[in-house]
Amino acid sequence: MRVIAPAKINLHLEVLGLRQDGFHELAMVMQSIDLADSLELTSREDGLISLDCDDPTLSTDGDNLICRAASLLRNRSGGRELGVSIYLKKQIPIGAGLAGGSSDGAAALVALNSFWGLGFALQELEEMGSEIGSDLPFCIKGGTQFCFGRGEKLEPLPSNNNSLAIVLVKDPFVSVSTPWAYGQHKKKFGESYFQTEASFEKRRELLRDEFNWSAISDKGFPVIRNDLQRVVEPCTEAVKKSLEILASMPNSIVSAMSGSGPSCFAIFPDFNSAEKALNQSQNHLTSAGLKAWCCSFKPEGVKIIS
């Protein structure tokens, strides 16, 4: 069985406050893109779960979200001796703010549910996913979604934005720790966090209005807000450089950092203009040591393809 695990970008990431569980209360808009990892599953009779990867720098031990997803699913199915060999082909850069690890975990849940014939509903898989990481439910469903709560509460946006494309850039030698980025945000801005559910809901309402796609075609694309960019950009040269180059690209609508970074992207009206802008800036990007991709918006999340 082969399953595709797409990356995501953040079209909005707003830290609303601090939750009882120590996580941050978020209001986000996440978007799947067609940069994707793939997982190949083959059966094994000895009841073991094994993972190999074409990227030797990635841990394939029990801490990998694919292994955690497989173990959780097997436990929930009554602890039967279900085995699998998984081979992961990595395309999504690691530690990049693109939810690569979460999407791999999400793909493992969806694929193994079918591979082992467990019959869990999608909603149940999303709930299991949220126990492993805040972004897993989004990665299962994908497309364009509001993500509230820790990031696990989804509300779909009608997707009439499928012609949009991005240029995505990342320094291959730089990664950012997500807990560090949230920790820095709390340190710098924690005192001004909203305190009540009513104030959280007010911000969610404003975001629902702002990302009403039919209004967007009249008003133009919203300026992208990423609160983590406010703490990551000042101390990460690669982010500053990426944003500078992206902003200079012809026909770009808007640019921002994704998630906790360091990857950054610019949005273009269509794939051709993104490709053209990337080609024109390739020398500049290469001399800045940045790797770049041209990607389309994708209307879905993880998908079993064979």
Tokens found for residue 238: 């690669």
Segment lying near ligand C5P (by CB under 6 A), choices 18-26, 75-83, 111-119, 294-302: 18-26
Phi and psi for 170 in degrees, rounded to 5?
-155, 140
The contact pattern for ligand C5P, residues 141-170, with x = CB under 6 A and - = no contact, is: ---------xx-------------------
Number of residues in contact with ligand C5P under rule CB under 6 A = 11
26 part of the interface to ligand C5P, by CB under 6 A: yes
Instruction: Give the footprint of ligand C5P on residues 168-197 (CB under 6 A).
Output: 178-179, 182
Closest approach of ligand C5P to the CB of residue 78, in Å:
26
Residue 106 — left, alpha, or beta (φ > 0 → left; ψ -120 to 50 → alpha)?
A: alpha
Rounded to whole angstroms, the Cα distance separating 171 from 146 reads 28
Instruction: Give the footprint of ligand C5P on residues 86-145 (CB under 6 A).
Output: 133-135
Segment lying near ligand C5P (by CB under 6 A), choices 23-31, 72-80, 191-199, 291-299: 23-31
Which candidate in 37, 104, 135, 171 is catalytic? 135
135 among known catalytic residues: yes
Task: Give alpha helix (H) positions in the chain.
Answer: 65-76, 100-115, 122-132, 136-141, 178-189, 197-210, 213-219, 229-232, 237-247, 271-287
Q: Kindly tell me which of 105 and 143 has the beta carbon lying closer to ligand C5P.
A: 105
Among 179, 181, 266, which residue's Cα sits nearest to residue 227? 181
Segment lying near ligand C5P (by CB under 6 A), choices 19-27, 90-98, 264-272, 282-290: 19-27
Distance, first Cα to last Cα, the chain: 5
Task: Please name the residue that has the structure tokens 């939750």.
Answer: 19
Which residues are catalytically annotated?
Answer: 8, 135
